[in-house]
Amino acid sequence: MLGDEVDRLVDVFLEDTPRLLARLEIAAAAPDYDALRDAAHSLKSSSANLGAMLLSAAAKRIEHGARERNLARPAVAVALVTNEFARARRMLRSGTRTTT
């Protein structure tokens, strides 16, 4: 129904997400819980909007842990999000949504 608009949204998501992932990596190294929370929140929302629900859930875990300032091994959590983005990117490029 949205046609070309969806393609444009996917392109923007695929271009913007690596910057969010870089922000997450930098924040995890400190750890900077506010920066983790903010970047994870953005990623959670944008990925859910495109149907990348596993990526959204992984970002949500970081967001909640950072909000509580209780995120065990932030770098590992960010690595899991990065891996999930790689999977979501493949699915989005192929036209398949990652709702499972």
Confidence of residue 5 (pLDDT cuts 50, 70, 90): confident
Residue among 74, 86, 72, 1 nearest 32 (CA): 74
| Cis before 31? omega within 30 | yes
Q: What confidence tens digit (pLDDT) does each residue in 43-60 have? A: 999 999 999 999 999 999
Predicted TM-score of the model (pTM): 0.88
Q: Which residue has the higher pLDDT, 98 or 81?
A: 81
The average pLDDT across 31-38 equals 97
